[in-house]
Structure 1
Amino acid sequence: MRSRSHLLNSATAERYHRDVTLTTSLVARKLAAVESPFTGVTPQQLAPVVDGVDLDKPLGDTAAALEELEQVYLRDAVWFHHPRYLAHLNCPVVIPAVVGEAVMAAVNSSLDTWDQSAGGTLMERRLIDWTAERIGLGPAADGIFTSGGSQSNLHALLLAREEALRTAGAGDPAGPAAARARILPTLRVLTSEVSHFSIEKSARILGLAPDAVVPIPVDTATRRLRPDALTRELERCARAGETVMAVVATAGTTDFGSIDPLPRIAALCERYGTWMHVDAAYGCGLLVSPTRRRLLAGIERADSVTVDYHKSFFQPVSSSAVLVRDRAVLAHATYHADYLNPERMAENAIPNQVDKSIQTTRRFDALKLWLTLRIMGPDAIGELFDDVVDRALQGWRLLDADPRFEVATRPQLSTLVFRHRPAPGTPPGLADDANLHAREALAAAGEAVIASTVVDGRHWLKFTLLNPATSLDDISAVLDLTAGYAERHLAAHAPEVLGA
């Protein structure tokens, strides 16, 4: 019976309050004391500590478990709120959203059916409507919260595939099944060569041909999809009898933060009768920007849109959604189970969100965004995103004027791709090694966490700015450290080149 004392209910409410207070106090102390974004611990160093925990022997005490948690997790956690965490699309989170996490974890609503969530269903629907209004999708729009941008992109392409099969197979005398088998291998997805990898992954999951995803060249100066190249590929597909089921535009590429020319892409999709999906997982923060909303002009013409609130809306993971212009297409993901969402519920207008989702059980992630909007308001979120975009532009100017570095492109959002520029005559492979060494040395020393990527076959470094607390001084200091590590690596491995 003692195990029941751990269940959260009316009898254990006081214990819940005590333990949660103890936990939040610990985390608050950690947040106040963090001096670097990472300790530099290696997997080899930390694995024995974690593997040494005997999970079959409970500690039986919250305080003792939290003390152990310090050793296996908190001490070596990667702290996204630190101003020198500059690596990936991870944001510091706003306090109202963390309050939402506390509520949703305790109540534990599941957003698949009305009888498991009640008001949570209506709140999620209201937030979908609010987001669709911000995008400008029109009165027939709808959508669903998802686990993240990859799932949102998968969901959108599922709908696009089904619409393409329905349209191309209409009236086929051989019947729907034969038409589907005939058309499926001809389906194509056109997207920028620097779009998110989830497009390729989704195509494989959806059973498309191995060559179904066609990368469209980008402008080398801006890393935006080239409409002329897209036009040529649309024409080629038409001549070859291939069906373009979707064109995927990106509003904020992961590496460059580039925003494809949405109006021109929309016009081409309309001309060729092709589904337009916009992956705005990163750039969706512009929807609430007081100064930069214009950068998303054309997104309102999309058939579907991915948004990741857990990137540029400063929400805890996970919080994402896929939006569609025409709610009727969501029926492609509808399945009825007698025990869960029988058809009679839809007939009686019972709002079961599982009718739209490719997930069944889903967390009430919408609650975090709801409380954020009710406490802070959308303009405040937009101001935070504007801050990091402003800082990226300042960082670009710093890099562009620094002879130690070369920078790939002027940022549209908050990503900077750059590399240490070695002395003339340095072998390209050694220059790559120096840049990668600098990244690893920064993390090992706990001084900063930055990312790397490959551009035109060469290794580059990357800052992804999503923390408004990151200052230009932070950026300058990390650049100095980066240059120092790269130059010492070059001096150790090719001193004759460095001295030339």
Structure 2
Amino acid sequence: MRSHLLNDATAERYRRLVTEGVERVAAKIATTDRPFTGVTVDALSPRIDGIDLDRPLHDTAAVLDELEDVYLRDAVYFHHPRYLAHLNCPVVIPAVLGEAVLSAVNSSLDTWDQSAGGTLIERKLIDWTCARIGLGPAADGVFTSGGTQSNLQALLLAREEAKAENFTDLRIFASEVSHFSVRKSAKLLGLGPDAVVSIPVDRDKRMQTVALARELERCAKGGLVPMAVVATGGTTDFGSIDPLEEIAGLCEQYGVWMHVDAAYGCGLLASLKYRHRIDGIERADSVTVDYHKSFFQPVSSSAVLVRDAATLRHATYHAEYLNPRRMVQERIPNQVDKSLQTTRRFDALKLWMTLRVMGADGIGELFDEVCDLAAEGWRMLAADPRFDVVVQPSLSTLVFRCVPAAVTDPAEIDRANLYARKALFASGDAVVAGTKVAGRHYLKFTLLNPETTTADIAAVLDLIAGHAEQYLGDSLDRAS
């Protein structure tokens, strides 16, 4: 069994087996002609349930054959230009190379004596991102598992900085279309059920600052403690960007921590054309970025950044076996001093490899392409009488619904759109997402693939309209 350990004696075996695995995946990617096979849970489950994990195959080729049957054949492939659903991007090759390196070396980024140069590379990337945001010379941060963890840590810091005697008095203000992790974080942080105050949005799905000012004033007069305002730099459903400058002014006026959830919109930090859309982010106290959304990185690669490095002390605990206090005095950098996690992958290496090969402008160029594509898609939808489109995109998301001319019942239109989405997924021809707007079912394109074209968008819209019409036709037949 020692022959399976990666070390000096097995390096050649490692090279051979990993190459075999890479060749299988490369062949699969090269021949994938649609984003999904349409396999159902009921069809796939028996294949996996039938595998006896206590009876190994003892042969890598056989295991790869089995993996083809239970995973690779039916995986959802984000690189395909007609995968248009969630905030999943195709990944750049330098980052995949970084993934291979970090997995093999297997550094743990909690302490210096487990990572050495990895610690310094992560810190360099944090400094680079803080500079791109404009947080100032005292800024710092740490890599996380994703936007949910980043938002949780930012709100933990805000809670501690608020210095409230009673957590039930604390209030967080976020728009009605902010990420669900804001409410989830409030619960995890022990705040009351009324802790999150939902602020209405305007027709472009941006937080209404007049309403925010009104709620902040009400909070102050009611003896409550405004803990944080969460401004969104790219909402999940609409890609909308809250008015960051105005929100920053209100946060300064009321002495409230400003957090910007830019998990999606962080791609604008590298944009060559649209960086101004996120102006005001530099005034935040904390920022969430997800490189695995708009920097074309493999999952996971995220970070939380703060204006004042001293606030990260709220996540610091010292253990004699890991990061004793004396290490601070000896100026030994331990990233666990800043993190909610202990053991942590060297995910920063993927971004490092990407920047060293492509440069920030290369990333920004790709993100600009998908923003341009969304603008073209919006014009197509706005001109097509078969569809109702919600907002003009600020990033790369389009929310719309099919509105068949012969149908006036909103509930029936809902059912037609739900059916169209399910039928499209079952066919495997394309994958789109769904959401609700004003209680009604809508469909969603999240465009994060520069290889997607307007022809792809047009083809998928035709498929959606066709499935909706088929449902309505079948519905009429059933009624008669």
State TM-score, norm by structure 2: 0.99
From 348, 356, 369, give the equivalent of 2:330: 348
What displacement does 1:347 show?
1.2
Q: Distance in 2 between matches of 1:45 and 1:307?
A: 37
**1:428 matches 2:415:** no
Q: Which whole-Å deviations, capped at 9, do the CAs of 1:245-286 have from their partners, x for residues lacking one?
A: 000000000000000000000000000000000000000000
Question: Do 1:409 and 1:417's aligned partners in 2 also have CA atoms closer than 8 Å?
Answer: yes
Deviations 1:163-188 (A, max 9, x none): 001xx5xxxxxxxxxxx3xx211000
Q: Once the 2 structures are TM-superposed, how far is the Cα of residue 496 of structure 1 from its aligned partner?
A: 11
Q: In 1, distance between residues paired with 2:470 and 2:241?
A: 37
Counterpart AA for 2:64:
L
Matched-pair contact (CA < 8 Å) for 1:81–1:92? yes
SS in 2 for 1:433: helix
Q: What is the DSSP-based 3-state SS (H/G/I as helix, E as strand, rest coil) of the residue aligned with 1:461? A: strand
Code of the residue aligned with 1:305 in structure 2: it is V
- Structure 2 CA distance for aligned equivalents of residues 497 and 280 of structure 1: 48
* Equivalent residue number for residue 206 of structure 1: 189
Partner in structure 1 of residue 173 of structure 2: 190
Name the structure 1 match of 2:35. Answer: 37
SS in 2 for 1:56: coil
Equivalent residues of 1:247, 1:274 under 8 A apart: yes
How far apart are the structure 1 equivalents of 2:308 and 2:458?
A: 47
Cα pair 1:425 1:497 within 8 Å, conserved: no
Instruction: Report if the CA contact (8 A) 2:407-2:413 is conserved.
Output: no
Shift of 1:424: 5.6
One-letter code aligned to 1:383: E
Q: 2:425 aligns with which of 440, 443, 461?
A: 443
Q: In the alignment, does 2:24 pair up with 1:26?
A: yes
Q: 2:255 aligns with which of 268, 273, 280?
A: 273
1:174 aligns to what? none
The match for 2:381 is 399
AA matched with 2:99? E
CA contact (8 A) 2:312 2:338 kept: yes
Are 1:122 and 2:120 counterparts?
yes
Q: Tell me which residue corresponds to 2:354.
A: 372
Residues 423 and 497, structure 1, Cα contact 8 Å, conserved in 2? no
The one-letter code of the counterpart of 2:157 is L
Cα contact 1:223–1:256 (8 A) shared by 2: yes
How many residues are paired up? 480
Deviation at 1:429, TM superposition (A): 1.4
CA deviations over 1:393-447 (Å, ceiling 9, x no partner): 0000000000000001100000000000133653221111100100111111111
Letter in 2 for 1:232: R
- 1:457 pairs, out of 439, 456, 460, with 439
Checking the alignment, whether the CA contact within 8 Å between 1:395 and 1:472 is kept in structure 2 is: yes
Residue of structure 1 equivalent to 2:131: 133
2:179 aligned with 1:217, yes or no? Answer: no
Contact 1:92–1:314 at 8 Å: present in 2 too?
yes
Indicate the residue corresponding to 1:164 in structure 2: 162
Alignment partners' CA distance in 1, 2:476 and 2:305:
53
Aligned: 1:284 with 2:282: no
Give the Cα–Cα distance (whole angstroms) in 2 for the partners of residues 61 and 497 of structure 1.
57
Does residue 326 of structure 2 align to residue 361 of structure 1?
A: no
The SS at the match of 1:10 is coil
Residues in 2 aligned to 1:495 and 1:405: alpha-carbon distance in whole angstroms: 24
Work out the CA distance in 2 between the residues paired with 1:125 and 1:199: 26
Match of 1:475 among 457, 467, 473: 457
Give deviations 1:63-88, integer Å, cap 9, x for gaps: 11000000000000000000000000
Residues 328-377 of structure 1, C-alpha deviation per residue, up to 9 Å, x if partnerless?
00000000001000000111110000000010000000000000000000
Which position in structure 2 is the counterpart of 1:175? none
Note if 1:408 corresponds to 2:400: no
List per-residue Cα deviations over 1:107-140 (Å, max 9, x = no partner): 0000000000000000000000000000000000
Question: Structure 2 counterpart of 1:104, which letter?
Answer: L
Q: Counterparts of 2:479 and 2:121 in 1: how far apart (Å)?
A: 63
Correspondence for 2:108 among 83, 100, 110: 110
Residue 86 of structure 1 is matched in structure 2 by 84
| Whole-Å separation in 2 of the counterparts to 1:48 and 1:444 | 18
Letter in 1 for 2:21: T
> Contact 2:386 / 2:405 at 8 angstroms: preserved in 1?
no
Matches of 2:274 and 2:14, distance apart in 1: 44
Q: What amino acid does structure 2 have at the position aligned with 1:162?
A: E
2:279 corresponds to 1:297: yes
The one-letter amino acid of 2:194's match is D
Residues in 1 aligned to 2:403 and 2:317: alpha-carbon distance in whole angstroms = 56
Q: In structure 2, what is the Cα distance between the partners aligned to 1:497 and 1:484?
A: 20
Which letter maps to 1:133? A
Distance 2:262 2:462 in 1: 33
Are 1:288 and 1:379, in contact at CA under 8 Å, matched by a contact in 2? yes
**Distance change (3 Å), C-alpha of 1:65 and 1:233:** same
CA distance, structure 2, for counterparts of residue 55 and residue 409 of structure 1: 49
Specify the code of the residue in structure 2 equivalent to 1:473: A
Which residue in the other structure is 1:96 paired with?
Answer: 94
Aligned partner (choices 245, 248, 255) of residue 227 of structure 2? 245
Per-residue displacement from partner, 1:17-39 (whole Å, max 9, x unpaired)? 00001001111100100000000
User: Does 2:49 match 1:76?
Assistant: no
Letter in 2 for 1:204: K
Distance in 1 between the 2:479 and 2:208 partners?
A: 39
- Aligned with 2:10: secondary structure? helix
Corresponding residue number in structure 2 for 1:386: 368
Structure 2 residue ranges without an equivalent (≥5) = none
1:312 alignment counterpart: 294
Task: Please report how far the alpha carbon of residue 491 of structure 1 lies from its aligned counterpart in structure 2 after TM superposition.
Answer: 1.6
Aligned-residue Cα RMSD (Å) equals: 1.2
| Shift of residue 492, structure 1, vs aligned partner | 1.6
CA distance in 2, matches of 1:243, 1:26: 56
Cα distance between partner residues in 1 of 2:477 and 2:11: 67
Match of 1:233 in 2: 215
